[in-house]
Chains A and B, each alone.
Chain A
């Protein structure tokens, strides 16, 4: 089986996964019961009963579920995610385009920090295992793993923002700076492309705390997996062979050990991405970061079906893609899978 057909097959499978996710979310969201128009309109609903009537008809809310599902899917296939009651009935796609790039920014940095921190500390603690360095690292990551993200976020906020005034909070960048013209729609990238380094620097400062509070809860998993697989590998027969060749211990460790241990990190990476991307919802709310997290909450509270569905679909797409990427990476690092 060659790599291209492997990828195609996984993509095909991914589409089915997405369809399943859409269907289940659709059913779950609509089984909340009651006419959601009351939730959408709030007080206005009782003073203007004709508005309730109007919206109920406009969005087919009295039709059977499968008819509503049919409308939703046909719309979805045409790229129409619906209109958001929570945001005054503007298109959901517009809300997503405005907020999701920020979520991507946080998620990207959270992923980079937790993988880099996890790999570096994992390597260090495996290299000096059972020593004081190893023990300190373990204490550090255990504290991270066992604290909820919001707790870490609060600690970081208190330390870095209120005590030392080192890092700002709220917003994605200094509000006095103009958001760069959308090219990729990801403000940080756009600021680099347009040479707006002031905005870029400010957006980095704003992204550190939220992404760090996510990463501190996750990097420990990488440390733990890498350390234990490294220790296993360093006791393996092929490492003994490498030593018998007279290689330096560092060469044995990095070239023969780490290369193999990274396979387990790759296996872990899609799990980490899933964990972190969903984690953004909470930290964005804590740091008032203008990502999709705030919208996810509001949509849930006011029964904004299109919003709930759209954000779920986006998370699902990311998870499917990250799994695909992990599978491809896996094939790259492990020749046995590549050729076997």
Chain B
């Protein structure tokens, strides 16, 4: 374990981003799932920062820790079994990991929102979608009016943007009578914002009356209604068919310019990332192995794993034959590990790769990679 800490000391220089534009900074974050038998290290010294108004994709195969990362940012990790071993998550310079749940909650929704992979089950079956969106708006309004926001009040004051029209601050009661005119109008407006044409009907529907694509739009509308600065989307299109998937992705891409929000898009599909993201973060077995501008990554992937992933993308239907899976498998994360986790599968593996873990370093401008091929440490 000492080795791990050793590594965490050396903070890498990040892609040049002006500090005031920074929204989220994650440093040395390690998260383990603890059980009686073993501790599974799901995130291993993650360093990452996210600026404003950007669409960043996190890519990696199943089990590499994408959802763990997302849930830790919004603070919805079930602890236990999850445990933050070390590191911090700073949002607008406030260390979220140090906050009590009571204060932590105040960041959810209005600052950091999240939509999930399962649109079919992520909406409450017994309330109309309009009411569920209205509830989200009410949370936002309540916070705006909340003067008892005692936590580091100056920072919080700065943090809470005041950019919404005045709304009743009481939570809607889900009365049969329905929503107030003002609230209903805003709900309609956000539904239209996510390109739901018949918003007037959809607002009074129950979730089970809507298709998967519609429900995911409703989820996006609900998240956007709170005007978060960061929207985390954990595989938002995986459960949808290809056409709907494309529509939802295009919607997210368009929205990033309309609303004042950064989007962290989690996907296991590099093709999806290439379509919408400005920046791509590649994860492997709990590590960030590459972090780059989307064009650079596709023009010149540095990490052997990224190269492998890229060669897996079928380019046009004729190239199906070229789709080659990466041989080998991910190491068992519940065992202590020495060296680069990808070494056993890596065609470029060197001696050092099985002895030490590579640091994430800026190998090219704005392009970080964790690989001894680029660290200059190989000799």
**Distance to closest chain B CB from A256 (angstroms):** 5
Residues of A within 8 A of B208 (CB): 335-336, 340
Q: Please classify the interface of chain A as helix (H, G, I), strand (E, B), loop, or mixed, using the class held by over half of its residues.
A: helix
- Residue interface mask B142-177, A partner, CB < 8 A = 1: 010000000000000000000000000001001000
Residues of B within 8 A of A260 (CB): 124-126
| Residue of chain A at shortest CB distance from B121 | A237
| Residue of chain A at shortest CB distance from B137 | A245
**How far apart are the CA atoms of A336 and B114 in the complex, in Å?**
26
Residue B90 interfacial (CB < 8 Å): no
Which stretch in A18-26, A246-254, A318-326 binds the other chain? Answer: A246-254
| Residue of chain B at shortest CB distance from A255 | B174
Residues of B within 8 A of A238 (CB): 121-125
Residue B290 interfacial (CB < 8 Å): no
| Residue of chain B at shortest CB distance from A236 | B121
Contact at A241–B171, with CB atoms within 8 Å?
no
Residues of B within 8 A of A247 (CB): 109, 135, 139
Residue B76 interfacial (CB < 8 Å): yes
Contact at B116–A246, with CB atoms within 8 Å?
no
- Residue interface mask A200-244, B partner, CB < 8 A = 1: 000000000000000000000000000000000000111011111
Contact at A336–B206, with CB atoms within 8 Å?
yes
Report which residue of B74, B110, B126 has the largest number of chain A beta carbons within 10 angstroms of its beta carbon: B126
**Distance to closest chain B CB from A114 (angstroms):** 24
Residue A339 interfacial (CB < 8 Å): yes
**How far apart are the CA atoms of A224 and B223 in the complex, in Å?**
35
Residues of B within 8 A of A242 (CB): 124
Residues of B within 8 A of A237 (CB): 116, 118, 121-122
Residue A334 interfacial (CB < 8 Å): yes
Interface size on B, residues (CB 8 A): 33
Residues of A within 8 A of B106 (CB): 246
**Distance to closest chain A CB from B92 (angstroms):** 16
In the complex, number of A-B residue pairs with CB atoms less than 8 Å apart: 75
**Distance to closest chain B CB from A297 (angstroms):** 45
Instruction: Mark out the residues of chain A between 255 and 312 whose CB falls within 8 Å of any chain B CB in the assembled complex.
Output: 255-256, 259-260, 263
Residue B288 interfacial (CB < 8 Å): no
**How far apart are the CA atoms of A260 and B107 in the complex, in Å?**
26
**How far apart are the CA atoms of A245 and B110 in the complex, in Å?**
7
- Say yes or no: A245-B123 contact (C-beta < 8 A), given A237-B116, A336-B208, A339-B209: no
Residue A192 interfacial (CB < 8 Å): no
Contact at A245–B108, with CB atoms within 8 Å?
yes
Report which residue of A238, A245, A263, A340 has the largest number of chain B beta carbons within 10 angstroms of its beta carbon: A245
Residues of B within 8 A of A246 (CB): 105-110, 139, 143, 226
- Say yes or no: A251-B136 contact (C-beta < 8 A), given A237-B122, A340-B208: no
Instruction: Mark out the residues of chain B between 225 and 241 whose CB falls within 8 Å of any chain A CB in the assembled complex.
Output: 226
Residues of B within 8 A of A334 (CB): 125-126
Residue B31 interfacial (CB < 8 Å): no
Residues of A within 8 A of B116 (CB): 237, 240-241, 244
Residue A116 interfacial (CB < 8 Å): no
Contact at A241–B226, with CB atoms within 8 Å?
no
29 contacts between A and B (CB under 8 A): A236-B121, A237-B121, A237-B122, A240-B122, A241-B123, A241-B124, A241-B222, A243-B108, A244-B74, A244-B108, A244-B109, A244-B114, A244-B223, A245-B113, A245-B135, A245-B139, A245-B222, A246-B139, A246-B226, A259-B126, A259-B127, A260-B126, A263-B126, A333-B126, A335-B208, A336-B125, A336-B208, A339-B209, A340-B208
State the B residues within 8 Å of A (CB).
74, 76, 101, 105-110, 113-114, 116, 118, 121-127, 135-136, 139, 143, 171, 174, 206, 208-209, 219, 222-223, 226
- Interchain residue pairs A-B with the least CB separation, the first 9: A246-B109, A246-B108, A237-B121, A238-B124, A245-B109, A237-B122, A244-B114, A335-B206, A241-B122
